[in-house]
Amino acid sequence: MGPGGRRGCAGAGPAAEAASATVGGVIDLGRVCALYRTHAADLARVVEEQRRFREATPSMTPQLDDVEAEVTYLLLRDARPAHVMELGTFHGWSTSWILRALRDNGSGHLHSFDRIDNVRRTVPPELAADRWTFVLGDVRERLADVPRDAGYLFVDAAHTASFARWFLAELFPLVPAGIPVSVHDVHHGRRVLPLTEGAVVLRWMREHGVTGFTASRRRAPEAFTRIAEVRAELGLTGARGTTRNPMLWFTMPALR
């Protein structure tokens, strides 16, 4: 299967999307399109909330593009995790998307890790409430704080090959198999450059027989176009208007 996870709905319409959505923990285009339809009303509301949040926080530099933020929200709504680990927060754009998903689920707790604490000043208090724990410091020294029962792992931290080798060897074995994982800034172009975080992660995936999904406009244009069609059909517009979407998703294999 290609990087866009074409199994399911590429060009096949809603029926194939619904069928693909029943495929266990596989993250593919069919599942994503089906989730857009399932949560369309909630997602439209959250997009508007995020747009207002961005406009009210001019000091914030959002890191996620529109589709990758929306898909993150949708996968969290679908997985309904009791605990989420977020590695890398910066100004809190991804943090706020995750927290809104947990709020809309009615349960779940986010554990965020970063070496800087800008996020403490930007995340709306009503979102943080009792559903958020922020861990300040180098995650390599804070592994004891990693939730072993995490139901979703979000990685957007130091984009280096050496750090990727570290989190693949030391962090990934700490969380359960079968959970959704997202790694940001992998698919910026048609090909992933060698000696990068993305190259290290993709090699690890091949070694473990893991297939991934991306909505990257340049790496997976067919998936990007199909999602754009579904969004247009549902009347969804983005919170930022950006279209790169370099995020990579996959399901965690058994490592322990």
Residue 140 lies in a domain: yes
Residue 46 lies in a domain: yes
Beta bridge partners of 136: 114
**Chain segment 194-220, per-residue pLDDT in tens:** 999 999 999 999 999 999 999 999 999
Residue 2 lies in a domain: no
pTM of the model: 0.92
- How many structural domains compose the chain? 1
User: What's the CA gap between 99 and 58, in Å, rounded?
Assistant: 20
Residue 6 lies in a domain: no
Residue 7 lies in a domain: no
Beta bridge partners of 113: 87, 135
Average pLDDT of the residues in 218-241: 97
**Chain segment 114-171, per-residue pLDDT in tens:** 999 999 999 999 999 999 999 999 999 999 999 999 999 999 999 999 999 999 999 9
Residue 8 lies in a domain: no
**Chain segment 43-81, per-residue pLDDT in tens:** 999 999 999 999 999 989 898 999 999 999 999 999 999
Residue 119 lies in a domain: yes
The answer to whether residue 11 scores a pLDDT higher than 80 is no
92: CATH? 3.40.50.150
**Chain segment 89-118, per-residue pLDDT in tens:** 999 999 999 999 999 999 999 999 999 999
Identify the domain containing residue 18 by its residue range.
Answer: 14-251
Residue 92 lies in a domain: yes
How would DSSP label each residue in the chain?
Answer: --TT--TTTTTT-HHHHHHHTTSTT---HHHHHHHHHHTHHHHHHHHHHHHHHHHH-TT----S-HHHHHHHHHHHHHH--SEEEEE--TTSHHHHHHHHHHHHHT--EEEEEESS-THHHHS-HHHHTTTEEEEES-GGG-GGGS-TT-SEEEE-S---HHHHHHIIIIIGGGS-TT-EEEESSS-SSSSPPTTSHHHHHHHHHHHTT--EE---TTT-HHHHHHHHHHHHHHT---SS-------EEEEPPP--
The answer to whether residue 185 scores a pLDDT higher than 60 is yes
The answer to whether residue 4 scores a pLDDT higher than 90 is no
Instruction: Tell me what pLDDT residue 209 has.
Output: 97
Average pLDDT of the residues in 182-194: 95
Instruction: Tell me what pLDDT residue 256 has.
Output: 75
